[in-house]
Amino acid sequence: MKEKLIFTNLVGEVVDGLVAELGNPRVAIVADTNTAQLVLPLLVNESKAAAAATVITVKSGDVNKNIDTLSDLWKKLMDMEATRNTLIINLGGGVVSDMGGFAAATFKRGMRCINIPTTLLAAVDASVGGKTGINFNGLKNQIGVFSEPVAAVISTIYFNTLPQQEIMSGYAEMLKHGLLENPDTLGKLLASSPVYPMFDATRLLPLIEESVLVKSRIVEKDITESGIRKALNLGHTIGHAFEAYSYRRKSPIPHGYAVAWGLVVELVLSHIILGFPSDELQRFAAYVLENYGAYEITCDDYPALVADMRQDKKNSSPDNINFTLLENVGVPRININATAEQIGGALDIYRDLMHIA
């Protein structure tokens, strides 16, 4: 992977150093309506390059990660007479890095960019690995390219204004990385909590670094997701089904919660199909129940959930649903098929583990 990963709480200093290294190009900062207000002043205070930059503000939220906002972003780059040499700094969560990264990859056939993630999810996931893009025609991430930033400058200094729900979402991805890595990394995460007041942003940086390196090592082996990068889908097949179903029920659940519950069900499936150890499963489920609560379902919901899983783009046939599962902590297996009966059995055990009647 060419992307430089820098873990620091001296963000301003590091950004000025990077801009100097790149030959002091003109800089455009892409921020969303929230980060422009809450985070940009902090960066401008610490960085000469940021203070001199042109700021492009986009509307916040995944609903605005679309062609209209992107078009507006391209126009603003034209207004400032940006060239291929201009540097984009994406200051925000995954919406900003996905869309700003895509604008950088496409404007004038490609400019350089740096990601400064301001959400925990973007720090441990979206800002790393080079996936960029927008939602299109009602579907997520339909248009995009793989294009890595020059660097990701990852810190915890902007997390103080993050809503609790955003911390929970990022932490769920860290739990996934811990499960993919080894018992030691997972153990450290299970010994901490994403919930205030136990959550301590200042002590998080080493855990974030460990988590990002899990992702970057996997991405390095398979940038275009033809093989082992699929391991990063752990928890997401069921998680996406829970999320989609919750929207249809008109009682939406946040993405990170869906991933946390999806991880529990997929560990149960791992136990059924690959013999994942039951003590690890019980420990993980108890942690998720304590910190995220439970997503309440009954067996009447199973057919709709399985129907959603059949839509997953990873499946090769509608009869089998494709999963990434674990033989043990740190031992992922990709392209494992499960039947509707096996998934129903896993959902039964999930309900027991989560104390759902």
Ligand X SMILES: NC(=O)c1ccc[n+]([C@@H]2O[C@H](COP(=O)([O-])OP(=O)(O)OC[C@H]3O[C@@H](n4cnc5c(N)ncnc54)[C@H](O)[C@@H]3O)[C@@H](O)[C@H]2O)c1
Binding residues for ligand X, per CB under 6 A?
Answer: 32, 34-35, 38-39, 60-62, 65, 92-96, 98, 118-119, 121-122, 125-126, 129, 131, 140-141, 158, 161-162, 166, 169
Which lies closer to ligand X via its Cβ, residue 213 or residue 304?
A: 213
Q: How far is the CB of 120 from ligand X (least distance, A)?
A: 8
Q: How far is the CB of 122 from ligand X (least distance, A)?
A: 4
DSSP string, 53-92: SEEEEE--SGGG-SHHHHHHHHHHHHHTT--TT-EEEEEE
Q: How far is the CB of 322 from ligand X (least distance, A)?
A: 19
d(CA 145, CA 153) in angstroms, rounded, equals 21
How much of the chain is in helix, strand and coil states, percent to nearest 5? 55, 20, 25
Q: How far is the CB of 144 from ligand X (least distance, A)?
A: 8
Strand partners, 4: 151
DSSP string, 97-157: HHHHHHHHHHGGG--EEEEEE-SHHIIIIITSS-EEEEEETTEEEEEEEE---SEEEE-ST
Which lies closer to ligand X via its Cβ, residue 9 or residue 161?
A: 161
Which lies closer to ligand X via its Cβ, residue 255 or residue 351?
A: 255
Q: Going along 8-49, which residue ranges are E strands?
A: 27-32
**What radius of gyration, in Å, describes the C-alpha atoms of the chain?**
20
Which lies closer to ligand X via its Cβ, residue 173 or residue 280?
A: 173
Which lies closer to ligand X via its Cβ, residue 92 or residue 332?
A: 92
d(CA 272, CA 266) in angstroms, rounded, equals 10
Q: Which two tokens stand for residue 52?
A: 């001199």
The residue of the chain with the least Cβ separation from ligand X equals 94
CA 50 to each of CA 37, 39, 346, 351: distance values in angstroms, whole numbers, following the listed order: 14, 12, 50, 50
Are β-strands 139-146 and 131-136 bridged in parallel, bridged antiparallel, or unpaired?
antiparallel
Which lies closer to ligand X via its Cβ, residue 222 or residue 327?
A: 222
Which lies closer to ligand X via its Cβ, residue 162 or residue 218?
A: 162
Q: How far is the CB of 131 from ligand X (least distance, A)?
A: 4
